[in-house]
Amino acid sequence: MKALNVVFATVALALTAGIAQADVRPDHIPGLIKSGEITSFEKLNQAALDKHPGATILDTELDHSYGKLVYEVELRDSKGVKWDVDLDAKTAEVLQDKQDT
């Protein structure tokens, strides 16, 4: 039984570490902007809002996905519908625009 607990704990820690590494640490963001690896958050937010005029931004996150840095924006439109918009953090190109279910 102890061996099973050790295995479970090891798997849980490994999964947690993998998830934690997905997000970009906030202290790295100024350097990424300065180097040009990502564009300004103002431009990224505007690109997301352009997809859903009149929407409100609920949450944002800079993450590693699609093999690149991705700016993830959660929006609520004027009808109360939530949307998830993923943008290439360097170019502000929309990678995904889907209704949050």
- Comparison of pLDDT for 22 and 68, the residue scoring more: 68
Domains (range + CATH), the chain? 2-99 (3.10.450.40)
Average pLDDT over residues 74-91: 97
Burial of 38 (0-12, 13-18, 19+ CB in 10 A): buried
Quote the pLDDT of residue 9. 39
> pLDDT confidence of 33, banded at 50, 70, 90?
very high
Quote the pLDDT of residue 22. 57
CA dihedral defined by 66, 72, 78, 80, rounded to 10 degrees? 90
Q: 71-99 as b/e, with b when 16 or more CB fall inside 10 Å?
A: bbbbbbeeeeeebbbbbbbbebeebeeee
